[in-house]
Structure 1
Amino acid sequence: MEIGQKVKICRLREKVSPEIVEKVQQGQAATIKSFKMTDGSGVGVFVEFPDSTTGWFFEDEVVLVQ
């Protein structure tokens, strides 16, 4: 994955706002804006939806949109 690529959220491991849940249920794509190291060796991604809503997700929660 790279910054600028489009992704969809495929699952939610952590509690997120109802606004984000709705976008995930609708299958909205988001754009990767940056990465963050998680505790341990994981990587998280910050994404932005078309309406400028942002969220942070674990790498295994997102899939690339082809």
Structure 2
Amino acid sequence: PIYSIAMTQDGRYAACGRSNRIFLYDLATREFVGEIADPAQKTGGAHRAMVQSLAFSPDGTRLASG
């Protein structure tokens, strides 16, 4: 299941937190952009625990997760 979601203010991108991974989608083209992962995590997860919150910066260039 998806535990968290955030959208850029312009509505172009959405990020979804599922388990310990973050998935990014381009809403304008309805395409999957990619998965955000920490290179230090060998399993590809972006977090060691569940992604419980996501927020884009006002200009949409940064994504914070917790």
What TM-score, normalized to structure 2? 0.28
What TM-score, normalized to structure 1? 0.28
Bigger-Rg structure (1/2): 2
Q: Kindly indicate whether structure 1 or structure 2 has the higher relative contact order, using CA contacts under 8 Å at least 6 residues apart.
A: 1
